[in-house]
Amino acid sequence: MIDADPTAPVVTIDGPTASGKGTIALKVARALGWHYLDSGSLYRLVALEVVRGGVDPADAGRLVAIARTLRPWFGDDGRIRLSRPQAGPAEAGHEDVTDAIRAEEVGQMASRIAVVPALRDALLALQHSFRQAPGLVADGRDMGTVVFPDAGLKVFLTASVESRAERRYKQLMEKGISTILEGLLLDLQQRDARDSQRATAPLKPAEGAFVLDSTRLDIDQTVRAVLDEAERRQVG
């Protein structure tokens, strides 16, 4: 694991599920020429291993063990790959897990295990290691409140739950995944409640955060708003 560079500037983008923070963060990182961290994918990577291996999500020790072996790589093409250097010859290399970790079952598992304090502690050092020059754009749920509290710009990206459900519905349908809008809406409402009410690192805007409601904004408008705020605050 590479040591973090505490002097590298950071922009954090937090927000609820399906707020579009991953897409916005990646585009902002590209525009700035900075590194990108999709912190939520770290929990999804652990969740993927839990689902694949039939691991008890209440077994904190097993969750921590999985987290400590993670070697993720985020490409500027938006793909997420998992390095498996200790696998057998036929399995070694980088596995593209971009689609696998976006499965609804994995997402629900990630939301469940994210409340485990021991797992959050185990992933903290890994998250910090992504802080490298010339800068980092990190998205998640507690990037500005817990992981990078000294970030130069902390964005809290939100949108109405109805808008987020519709966006997720369109994404899944475009991928040929049959789903029911009402079910997605209920699931998002439940995740919002769980994420905001949990005892450890609850979902909320960081102190001094730039709160951005993207309900009526498209992707380009949202990215522009973040970049403008970064320039206004002289981040970087």
| pLDDT value at residue 172 | 84
Q: Is residue 208 part of a domain?
A: yes
Same domain, 107 and 169: no
Same domain, 225 and 139: yes
Q: Is residue 218 part of a domain?
A: yes
Structure confidence by residue, pLDDT tens digits, 71-122: 898 888 889 998 865 544 444 467 899 999 989 899 889 989 988 999 989 9
* 222: CATH: 3.40.50.300
Same domain, 80 and 142: no
Query: How many angstroms separate the CA atoms of 33 and 17, rounded?
Result: 26
**Percent over 70 (pLDDT), the chain:** 95
Structure confidence by residue, pLDDT tens digits, 181-207: 999 999 999 988 888 887 777 889 999
The set of residues, in sequence order, having a beta carbon less than 8 Å from that of 158 and lying 6+ positions away, is 15, 16, 19, 211, 212, 213, 214
Domain stops at, among 133, 164, 199: 133
Q: 117: left (phi > 0), else alpha (psi -120 to 50), else beta?
A: alpha
Total tally of structural domains belonging to the chain: 2
Mean pLDDT for the chain overall? 90
Same domain, 151 and 180: yes
Same domain, 139 and 210: yes
Mean pLDDT calculated for residue range 167-186: 88
Q: Is residue 4 part of a domain?
A: no
Mean pLDDT calculated for residue range 59-73: 93
Same domain, 27 and 88: no
Q: Is residue 114 part of a domain?
A: yes
| pLDDT value at residue 3 | 81
Same domain, 110 and 154: no
Domain stops at, among 117, 133, 149: 133
Query: How many angstroms separate the CA atoms of 123 and 143, rounded?
Result: 12
| pLDDT value at residue 46 | 96
- Do residues 112 and 129 make contact, with C-beta atoms less than 8 angstroms apart? no
Q: Is residue 100 part of a domain?
A: yes
Q: Is residue 158 part of a domain?
A: yes
Same domain, 144 and 27: yes
* Number of neighbours of residue 177 by Cβ within 10 angstroms: 12
Query: How many angstroms separate the CA atoms of 14 and 148, rounded?
Result: 11
* Number of neighbours of residue 50 by Cβ within 10 angstroms: 21
Domain stops at, among 65, 98, 133: 133
Q: Which domain holds residue 28?
A: 10-34+135-231
